[in-house]
Amino acid sequence: MLSMLMSNLQGMVYCCLLDADWTMVFVSEGCRALTGYSSEELLFNKRISYEELTLAEDRLWVRRLIEKAAHARKKFDLEYRIVHADGSVHWVQESGFPLFNDHGELVALEGFIQDVTARKRSEQAARDAEARYRSIFENAIEGIYQTTPSGQYLDFNPALARIYGYASTQDLRNGISDIQRQLYVDPEKRGEYIAIMQANGEVRNFEAQVYRKNGDIIWITENAREVRDRDGRLLFYEGTVEDISERKYYEQQIEYQATHDMLTGLPNRTVLSDRLQQAINFTARYDNILAVAFVDLDQFKFINDSMGHHVGDSLLVVMAERLAQCVRDSDTVVRLGGDEFVLLLCSLQKIEDISHSMQRILAAVATPCTIDGLEFVVSCSIGISVYPGDGQEAGTLLKHADSAMYKAKQLGRNNFQFYTRELNQVLTERMAIEYRLRHAIENAEFLLYYQPKIELASGRICGAEALIRWQPPDGALISPLSFIPIAEETGQIEQIGRWVLQQACLAANRFQQILGRPLPVAVNVSPRQFRQRDLIGTIAATLAATQVAAHTVELEITESCLAHDTPQFIKTLHGLKALGLTLAIDDFGTGYSSMAYLKDFPVDRLKIDKAFVGNLEHESTDAAILKAIIALGHSLGLKVVAEGVETEQQSAYLLQNGCDEAQGYWFGQPLAEAEFCALLTSR
Ligand SMILES: Nc1nc2c(ncn2[C@@H]2O[C@@H]3COP(=O)(O)O[C@H]4[C@@H](O)[C@H](n5cnc6c(=O)[nH]c(N)nc65)O[C@@H]4COP(=O)(O)O[C@H]3[C@H]2O)c(=O)[nH]1
């Protein structure tokens, strides 16, 4: 029974001598499975000794250990390697004890050797895996941690210490004992983390701001999960930490750029509707008033074009700062683009509050400011719509504020206007004009009227100004004052301008036939026309086609046009002059005249604005200005023409002060061509 038991054992029972070969005197059946040799081959070292079976590297220490135990009369238990008959190396575990004879002399060893290669391999694999994971843990770039649910670290890797700015893991261990209070900038964050963990068993991409050791704040993202034991009891949280400060910084930069105006730092158009909607919701909830103010700088385009964009930019920055200072922190100032801003004034109690704010803004904007050593004064026009009275929705409020701003512009700038229904009516009409204008040229709805120009000294008609009229098929004549500014804005003026010049040239031919001498005809050129590409080419072609001598055509250019003292502008002026045309400055005295430009530009005439002439009898300053302009014109070798002469006294004053020519109802209204021809014939 004993031999059966031994043969069934997974291993070899042995008895060996304590000699140099570990000579086996007994081995059980398990010998073959263990060593690959039969028991006969091993017994008494017939074919191989156990010493030889033992792996060479292990022989010495195995022998030392066993001999030491045996001499100490103790059991021994050890693991080492043997070389199997097939050449493979196997791990074995040997347990044995020494045997003594009756005299107490050590005579042999007895024991059991079993193959433990499989266990050894899995232990080794486990060790390798542990080493690998440890290496990942130690060398990871991400921080890895285990914490108690109450917020104490159980374990973490060097990367976590590095991310949090600690010199070593020990430094971090000493530094943070309570994650909630010491780590998170907002201590509420830990509560949030726990709540998500409790609900889902994990936390994903949890972003938070944390303090580094030196007090700097960084952004991190955490991914973590609960770790539970077999019975489901929560052991700890385990997770990773990544420093995402750089990403956050770029995200914030991108968001800032998308939502802010780079020049002024103000929120931009993209955020306007959101902010306005928030303001509406807030105002509705607290039953307050909300004002939407559209602010447009009056002289900005002029300064920008004439002084250069860097001055324009600096001016916008100053104005943006002033606007922001005029409102409360809870209000919003948005730069829409160009020189347009929108202000959202919240939590107002009464309409008068708005007026006060607007007066403050007008005054702040109009305060002189110095840029590059030059002093500038600009004003602004403001249109206001009020929630809830002028509209319930963001879009409507903005549209109405914009309309009111147009009204403020029309009323002479530097003022603010509230939106009204009547105003809306006016703007609707404006849109209708814009629409109908598109067909006016092809439907031949335009006419040219001619107003005589008189040489004051002789009383002779010395020229005519062509003035456009619009005769729609279904209505009264429309004044150019109503549609030229619209045509300017839409660009239709370029087409209209070409038509006017062509008609005026054809008329000049007819006038010449009547008079037997050329009669100069003046046409108005608006600022946009002036900037049109190939203006010179178009005019030259028209002159050639109509066979009109260039010196009979005069171009009236308004002062605001002249403000564009760019090289291109001067080049155009010289080009026109080179064609042989006469050039006149129209509405002189109303614009932003710098007398300085007059001497540099090749112009022939100054046309004094009718505002000075009309007030001549009542305003002594206007009379003085008139005199000065005439003198100035003459000193520069220019002819001076007065517009809007309505009375005999005005005519006399102008003659007396040396004005060369005049135009006005006193001498003749603008007339349709047939009537004007009749006038020429009658003279
Ligand atoms: N109160 C008063 N007004 C007088 C008197 N004599 C003439 N006027 C008006 O004064 C305006 C003079 O033309 P403007 O200053 O060039 O001002 C013109 C000019 O800037 C523009 N415009 C007219 N025709 C054209 C055109 O063909 N092309 C362009 N681009 N603009 C034009 O429209 C403006 C207004 O033209 P109109 O309504 O025809 O008004 C004309 C004329 O009818 C007077 O004694 N008293």
- Atom number in ligand 1 closest to CA 500: 27
Count of alpha carbons within 13 angstroms of residue 515, beta-carbon side: 20
Q: Quick one: tokens of 435?
A: 């629409």
Residue 564 in this model has a pLDDT that exceeds 80? no
- Whether 644 lines ligand 1, by a CB cut-off of 6 Å, is yes
Residue 652 in this model has a pLDDT that exceeds 80? yes
Task: Please tell me the distance from the alpha carbon of residue 248 to that of residue 252, in angstroms, as a whole number.
Answer: 6
Q: Find the mean pLDDT for residues 616-623.
A: 79
Task: Please tell me the distance from the alpha carbon of residue 181 to that of residue 354, in angstroms, as a whole number.
Answer: 46
Ligand 1 centroid to residue 477 C-alpha, Å: 14
Instruction: Give the DSSP letter string of 597-631.
Output: HHHHS---EEEE-HHHHHTTTT-HHHHHHHHHHHH
Q: Whose CA is nearest to atom 7 of ligand 1?
A: 664
Q: Say yes or no: ipTM exceeds 0.90.
A: yes
- Whether 468 lines ligand 1, by a CB cut-off of 6 Å, is yes
Closest Cα partner for 265 from 364, 334, 338?
A: 334
Q: Find the mean pLDDT for residues 585-591.
A: 79
Q: Whose CA is nearest to atom 4 of ligand 1?
A: 644
Residue 212 in this model has a pLDDT that exceeds 70? yes
**Confidence band, pLDDT 50/70/90 cuts, at residue 5:** low
Helix 480-490 with 421-440: angle, nearest 10 deg:
70
Contacts of 293 (CB under 8 A, 6+ apart): 342, 343, 344, 345, 354, 357, 358, 361, 382, 383, 384, 401, 416
Task: Please tell me the distance from the alpha carbon of residue 369 to that of residue 378, in angstroms, as a whole number.
Answer: 9
Strand 446-455 with 671-672, pairing:
antiparallel
What average pLDDT is seen over the chain? 91
Q: Quick one: tokens of 323?
A: 């606007």
CA angle 411, 415, 419 (to 5 degrees): 75
8 A C-beta contact, residue 518 and residue 477: no
Confidence at residue 623, expressed as pLDDT on a 0 to 100 scale: 84
- Whether 484 lines ligand 1, by a CB cut-off of 6 Å, is yes
User: CB count, 10 Å around CB of 159?
Assistant: 22
Percent of the chain at pLDDT exceeding 90: 68
- Whether 586 lines ligand 1, by a CB cut-off of 6 Å, is yes
Confidence at residue 612, expressed as pLDDT on a 0 to 100 scale: 86
Pocket test for ligand 1, best of 445, 606, 643, 673 (most atoms within 8 A of CB): 643
The predicted-structure confidence for 53-85, as pLDDT tens digits, reads as follows 999 999 999 999 999 999 999 999 999 999 999
CA angle 308, 313, 315 (to 5 degrees): 100
Confidence at residue 592, expressed as pLDDT on a 0 to 100 scale: 52
Q: Find the mean pLDDT for residues 107-127.
A: 95
The predicted-structure confidence for 631-651, as pLDDT tens digits, reads as follows 989 988 999 999 999 999 999
Task: Please tell me the distance from the alpha carbon of residue 519 to that of residue 669, in angstroms, as a whole number.
Answer: 17
- Whether 488 lines ligand 1, by a CB cut-off of 6 Å, is no
- Atom number in ligand 1 closest to CA 467: 24
- Whether 451 lines ligand 1, by a CB cut-off of 6 Å, is yes
Confidence at residue 563, expressed as pLDDT on a 0 to 100 scale: 58
- Atom number in ligand 1 closest to CA 451: 7
- Specify the DSSP element, H or E, that contains 435: helix 421-440
Task: Please tell me the distance from the alpha carbon of residue 651 to that of residue 459, in angstroms, as a whole number.
Answer: 10
Closest Cα partner for 145 from 239, 243, 242?
A: 239
8 A C-beta contact, residue 647 and residue 627: no
Pocket test for ligand 1, best of 499, 524, 645 (most atoms within 8 A of CB): 524
Residue 414 in this model has a pLDDT that exceeds 90? no
**Confidence band, pLDDT 50/70/90 cuts, at residue 2:** low
Q: Whose CA is nearest to atom 1 of ligand 1?
A: 644
Helix (H, G, I), strand (E, B) or coil at 98: strand
Task: Please tell me the distance from the alpha carbon of residue 253 to that of residue 205, in angstroms, as a whole number.
Answer: 21
pTM of the model: 0.51
8 A C-beta contact, residue 172 and residue 210: no
Ligand 1 centroid to residue 467 C-alpha, Å: 6
Confidence at residue 596, expressed as pLDDT on a 0 to 100 scale: 62
Ligand 1 centroid to residue 202 C-alpha, Å: 78
Residue 552 DSSP symbol: G
The predicted-structure confidence for 118-168, as pLDDT tens digits, reads as follows 999 999 999 999 999 889 898 989 999 999 999 999 999 999 999 999 999
Instruction: Give the DSSP letter string of 451-505.
Output: EEEEETTT--EEEEEEEEEE--TTS--B-HHHHHHHHHHHTTHHHHHHHHHHHHH
